Structure 1
Amino acid sequence: MNKTKNITLNVEGMTCSNCALGIKKQLEKKGLDNVSVNFSTGEVSYNNTIELNLKEVADSINSLGFKVVDEGEVTKNQEGISTIEKQFYFTLFFTIPLFLHMFFPHDFFLNNVWVQLGLCLPVFSVGVWHFGKSAIGSLKTGVPNMDVLIIVGITSAFGYSLYGSLAYYGLPEAHNYLFFETAATITTLVLLGNVLEYRSVKQTTTAIKELNQLQKTEAKRVLSDGKIELVEYDDIKVNDILQFNTGDKVAVDGEVIWGDAIINEAMISGESVPLSKGIGSKVIGGTIVEGGTIKIKAEQVGDKTVLAKIIELVKNAQQDEPQIQRLGDKVSAIFVPVVIGLSLITFSLAFFVFNISLQQSVMQAIAVLVISCPCAMGLATPTAVMVGIGRAAKKGILIKGGSTFEQFANAKNIVFDKTGTLTTGNFVIKKTKLYTQIEEQELKNILFSLEQNSSHPIAKSIANFLMDDAVILNLVDIKEIKGFGIEAKDIEGNIYQLGSSRFLNKGVESETHSIYLVKNNELIAGVDIEDELKENVAETIALLNKQGLNTILLSGDRREVCDELAAKIGIKTVFSQQLPEQKLAKIDELQKTNTTVMVGDGINDAPALAKASVSISISNATQVAVQTAKIVLLNDKDLSQVYEAFLISKHTLKTIKQNLFWAFFYNVVAIPIAAFGFLNPMVAALTMAFSDVIVIGNSIRLKSKKLK
């Protein structure tokens, strides 16, 4: 069996989803698997299970009118003036005088058809070369694109004008057949639309560009003799010792082995407050050292770093299409043949039925061809998805695919796990009850002195909670008793026992507490603890409730604990004491009636997360969370990112609907107007060019619009 190898190629010349669809079909015909084409980033990836020669694949793509280039060429082209911009400026030079002669008549222009032909020919040649290659390539794949309509339109205008020039040269009626300015102006205006579209699409992909800029950075490598050398990002290896000073960007993921620093991780996790890092702390590539100096040992480099995985997730997410796009794709696939048919019908009815002049009938038919714009429908969804994913990524929210936006925006239920999701997993003392003449401060001192010797997670939490308020006591004979708790003696010989009710004498009656403190077999205090809430929990739940979502708590914890928490933070429905299989069944039950979102820690809730329509993992971007969840929140301290993810999803879907409405509305209204002769082909070309820009502009607006 052949080993599967994933290959990514950079392709120039793709302008819309039809171009991408054509390449995809071509490569699938070659027998390649898992073909993914992103026209916005210019990337084509596939699994080469049949060991197809790379040159064959490239030639196959090039034969469609596109160009496979290496990464260096892509960077070079992005830095200078693009090919499409050069073509536009070239055609504009010849089109302006040809176009202006209609407004400033001069006998030389009116009577000399060869001057008009000479000005039009360079523009027409560029148009045939640019649009013709793409049109022929799309016809080869069976997915005709917008360029087919453009090439038919400009060729009709140029051919009709050329025929008139030759047939009526020198005759007064010759000017009735001259539409060279129409062919030239259509070509130039459509190229202008492509330029605006090219620049606009570049703005929708800024998220990946910005993330890539974060990734590529130099670093100072510490050599064995203590000397420091500057190394490029690609030359950093695992176990290298790297030094970073104030203002430096951390190059790769690693562990601090010397020094301490304040590091801003906002660009990765969305956490606005800089974090203190010391020996043993983990650091993430792409973050900024705001103060201090550290040396780290490189642990993950290249495509293994957290940032590299985020970039890959963002790229892959753009390939996933929401269901709403399928309607647009279906219409786009049959759009071009339908428009050509409508154009022929327009000419036939105008000339043969309504006795409209030949030149006017031709112009109306050309206007129908040029006004039509399947590109707008193809751009409606992917541009909005790209902007939405980019906005979310900058906030530390990884949304894996366009379909996730649609599902989250349409959700009715949102289910939360408790521990590790709504709470931090760190326990704090809620209240205490003293049963003997013991002071509160003395109780704190005993609790702190005992718990700091225990390895139990709750004990560690209580010790951290009391660290600043307690004094350590001199205890001896400290030992942990499995199933009970911890026991120790003080210097006076008093025996302290802290833990479960098993330490209590059978005759002692007490209230139900989380922890009991016993001194010399006598109950002296009861301690109630609670799991610490994450930031903005109650505020987030309130906002989700306001949006009409049914908030649900699904936990394995005791009923009274869950009910108390739900009442405190405003959750509507509670399911407590649920085992993993019961959680799964409950999600399945909720799914049958409404789209359901599950928010969990990505590990112990894995079955329920997998079952939900949208799974949100609140974790430190662990591998399990990244792989299983559809949304990963990199800031695991603040629950408000859940609401932010919902708002981004809601407004992204809204933007998609607006774009699709405009694309359909534009064509429904514009085509009849052109068919009835109310639109000059040149005006039609200008209108068509800006229809794409309107769609993309609406998507770009999502980058900065206020979400509510």
Structure 2
Amino acid sequence: MAETKRTYRVEGFSCANCAGKFERNVNRLPEVETAKVNFGASKITVVGETTIEALEEAGAFEELKVIEEGKEKAEKKEVSQTEAWYQTYIIELFGLLLLTLGIVSYFINGEMNLVTILLILSSILTLGAHLLKVGVVNLRHFDFDMKTLMTVAVIGGALIGEWLEIGIVVMLFRVSERLEKYSMDKARQSIASLMEIAPKQAQIRRGDEDKIVPVDEIEINDVMVVKPGEKLAMDGIVLEGTSAVNQAAITGESIPQPKETGDEVFAGTLNEEGLLFVRVTKKVKDTTLQKIIHLVEEAQGERAPAQAFIDTFAKYYTPAIMFISLLVVLIPPLVFGLEFNTWLYQGLAVLVVGCPCALVVSTPISIVSAIGNAAKKGVLIKGGIHLETLGKVNAIAFDKTGTLTEGTPVVTDQIIVDQTFDQNYFASIIYHLEQNTTHPLAKALTKHTKTSANDELNVKNVQALTGRGVSAEVNGTEFVIESPRALIEEGQVDQVIQSSIEELEENGKTVVVLQTDQRLIGYLALQDPVRTSSRAVLEQLSALGVKSTVMLTGDNYRTGKAIAAATGIGDFRAELLPKDKLDVIKQLSKSHHRVAMVGDGINDAPALATADVGIAMGGAGTDTALETADIALMADDLAKLPFTIKLSRKALRIIKANISFSLLIKLVALFLVIPGWLTLWIAILSDIGATLIVSLNSMRLMRVKE
């Protein structure tokens, strides 16, 4: 029986701790096999049978609202910004008013009378009813989190008559929770904005009639009519028309791309100029935009190593704070005979200062902000672990074709050696051997020979020779297209031809030969232009502190040397089979510890998978790149790489700074206990201040520019 797996959106998460508690509660439900919360995307994925009611019951401690993904209401009641703000903060406003009246009453009367206490108590119940309810339940179950610490502090403060201070503490804690929620919501907005990019309906031509159709009802092979100034609702292929399409939403490219018949277009992109007729190629749930949204949301849920450390640390940290607080309350009165109420107050302050709000929020906001910023710039980072690892990379290996070069080689020279072959027959053999091969060189060869090819040839047993070329039987004779390496090594090529081939290779061209029975028929030279950005990118990487850059190519040594010189890359390895590239990555890992591999996501899959971080070029048009790479540069643009590394390193610095600052502020506040200077309001201000600083510091990652 197939397992039932559903994803739900969750509204109401105020902190990462609450998300963790919700996950544990759902995992305890009888029919649930596993449940995993994605705090960054505000989602939970449940394997097993459950209901919305059961999930909301599991989240009742936080009053969470659960909606099955895909069933969100499309229409929402329109309200003004002022009205929305008022509805959101009405409880805080009323609680603050009561607290203000209590403070005024205290100063007017000069003492804590019944009216003042009732006003402050009303404020505490207004702002902290939910806090106290959850905290009391937690105490009964020995579940120690931030709300438990605060509840103990409030009850203790009330017992010793510190009404004013606990009123201020509850109000500031409420503000702290709001700040944390606001910070996460702000960080999530980059993904929320992606969801709104593509239209929810499109003009579809069926027969002679055009009609507006919701995207869920559009079928593959439907013809979509896209007028100038309209956004595309679906992925497809241009059937008719020419235009310039702004693909910034998908690839991050600022310059609109020309589109004509046969070109691929993506949902969420903007048709700027001409009328386009587009054949739909994917269902709405399978469009590139939807894949990006899904993968980014999944990435936000992946715990980075720093986050894993925080989760483990917090597990022991909160009980430790409870224990330290107990020692502060008991030791001074029992051992040194000091006043109990004074040290009970200090112990309660320790509980408040021990709330790990800033520590818990220090990493997830950074991860969500960085991944969201990258996605808007056309870089898909598939998890916090990859973001963090990239920040530690000190060596990068590049595939040559399609990475450092344009990836669209063209034939520049054709020489027929065996004069028994005329030009048409020579071209026909090459065309029929290469026409079904996907290698970039094969595409260039078939394009070059197509006009001269003869379709009457009897071709059998076409076989790809991994890392070498292709062979086939043509009119009863076996032919092979491959590198001239083997023929030269076996002495099957005379000195004049060998010199000609070497000269072509020294000029950065790739030479392939057509041969049969170890006899050379002829050879062609192809050249793949170096990307104009390659040299600048490599210089930027060096400036960022990347110690080693290496080019990996299956081409011969001379061609590799010429391309390396043109790009200014530090090192190169030539004449490599796919297995050899894998071995080079392993060697670099031993000598440089952290290695990234940049390739096209298809031919270099083993090397990309073995590297600490696999980075694929041109992910927008390649499902394989989206699925296999750790990071995908959605535009076929190497210039995005320095930005990605700069972003990851800044994220790493900010995460470390946040954790250090969060722990330091707690330590400093705890030291104030020794002279008895720590107060409840200082404790909560230190916590709210740290949370605010850490959140704002993390949100800086949303503004990192290329």
| TM-score computed with the length of structure 1 as normaliser | 0.81
Match in the other structure for 2:279: 297
C-alpha contact (below 8 Å) 1:580/1:607 kept by paired residues: yes
Match in the other structure for 2:386: 404
In structure 1, what is the Cα distance between the partners aligned to 2:309 and 2:619?
38
Percent identity over the alignment is: 28
Picking from 207, 213, 218, the partner of 1:236 is 218
Q: CA deviation at 1:499?
A: 12
In structure 1, what is the Cα distance between the partners aligned to 2:227 and 2:453?
45
Say yes or no: does 1:693 pair with 2:687.
no
Residues 254-277 of structure 1: per-residue CA shift (max 9 Å, x gap) = 222232221100110122221122
The one-letter amino acid paired with 1:628 is T
Match in the other structure for 1:14: 13
C-alpha contact (below 8 Å) 2:382/2:631 kept by paired residues: yes
In structure 2, what is the Cα distance between the partners aligned to 1:157 and 1:561?
78
Say yes or no: does 1:106 pair with 2:116.
no
Q: CA deviation at 1:631?
A: 0.5
Q: Write the mapping of 1:626-645 to structure 2, written as runs, cut at 5 A.
A: 626-636=626-636, 638-645=637-644
Q: Write the mapping of 1:284-683 to structure 2, written as runs, cut at 5 A.
A: 284-353=266-335, 356-428=338-410, 461=444, 509-510=496-497, 511-512=500-501, 513=504, 514=511, 528-546=525-543, 547-593=545-591, 594-621=593-620, 622-636=622-636, 638-674=637-673, 676-683=675-682
Residues 442-466 of structure 1: per-residue CA shift (max 9 Å, x gap) = xxxx99xx89x96866597589999
SS in 2 for 1:69: strand
Distance 1:125 1:278, change over 3 A: same
Q: Report how many residues are paired.
A: 643
Match in the other structure for 2:92: 88
C-alpha contact (below 8 Å) 1:397/1:633 kept by paired residues: yes
In structure 2, what is the Cα distance between the partners aligned to 1:507 and 1:592?
43
Residues 364-395 of structure 1: per-residue CA shift (max 9 Å, x gap) = 22221222231211111111110110111111
C-alpha contact (below 8 Å) 2:15/2:181 kept by paired residues: no
The one-letter amino acid paired with 2:570 is K
| TM-score computed with the length of structure 2 as normaliser | 0.81
Q: CA deviation at 1:527?
A: 7.4
Picking from 228, 233, 239, the partner of 1:246 is 228
Picking from 192, 197, 205, the partner of 1:222 is 205
SS in 2 for 1:424: coil
Match in the other structure for 1:171: none
Q: CA deviation at 1:479?
A: 8.9
In structure 2, what is the Cα distance between the partners aligned to 1:258 and 1:356?
88
The one-letter amino acid paired with 1:530 is Q
Residues 236-294 of structure 1: per-residue CA shift (max 9 Å, x gap) = 34333322212111111122223222110011012222112222222100001111111
Question: Which is further off, 418-427 or 599-608?
Answer: 418-427
SS in 2 for 1:534: coil
C-alpha contact (below 8 Å) 1:12/1:68 kept by paired residues: yes
Q: CA deviation at 1:308?
A: 0.5
Match in the other structure for 1:121: 121
C-alpha contact (below 8 Å) 1:124/1:154 kept by paired residues: no
The one-letter amino acid paired with 2:585 is I
SS in 2 for 1:24: helix
Distance 1:192 1:21, change over 3 A: same
C-alpha contact (below 8 Å) 1:563/1:574 kept by paired residues: yes
The one-letter amino acid paired with 1:671 is L
C-alpha contact (below 8 Å) 1:674/1:684 kept by paired residues: no
Q: CA deviation at 1:27?
A: 2.9
Say yes or no: does 1:195 pair with 2:193.
no
The one-letter amino acid paired with 1:110 is E
Q: CA deviation at 1:33?
A: 4.8
Distance 1:462 1:40, change over 3 A: closer
Q: Give unpaired runs (5+ residues) of structure 2.
A: 418-422, 435-439, 460-469, 473-480, 505-510, 515-521
Q: CA deviation at 1:680?
A: 2.6
Residues 597-654 of structure 1: per-residue CA shift (max 9 Å, x gap) = 1111111211121111111111344222111110011111x21122222111111111
In structure 1, what is the Cα distance between the partners aligned to 2:284 and 2:558?
49
In structure 1, what is the Cα distance between the partners aligned to 2:493 and 2:168?
97
Q: CA deviation at 1:655?
A: 1.1
SS in 1 for 2:539: helix
Q: CA deviation at 1:115?
A: 0.6
In structure 1, what is the Cα distance between the partners aligned to 2:607 and 2:454?
45
Q: CA deviation at 1:38?
A: 2.8
SS in 2 for 1:239: coil
Match in the other structure for 2:463: none
In structure 1, what is the Cα distance between the partners aligned to 2:494 and 2:160?
109
Match in the other structure for 2:507: none
Structure with max Cα Rg: 1
C-alpha contact (below 8 Å) 1:414/1:551 kept by paired residues: yes
Q: CA deviation at 1:309?
A: 0.6
C-alpha contact (below 8 Å) 1:17/1:375 kept by paired residues: no
Picking from 168, 174, 186, the partner of 1:185 is 168
Q: CA deviation at 1:695?
A: 0.8
Distance 1:142 1:8, change over 3 A: farther
Q: Give unpaired runs (5+ residues) of structure 1.
A: 162-178, 436-445, 467-471, 486-497, 518-524
Question: Which is further off, 179-188 or 321-330?
Answer: 321-330
The one-letter amino acid paired with 1:346 is V
Match in the other structure for 2:22: 23
In structure 2, what is the Cα distance between the partners aligned to 1:406 and 1:569?
28
C-alpha contact (below 8 Å) 1:262/1:276 kept by paired residues: yes
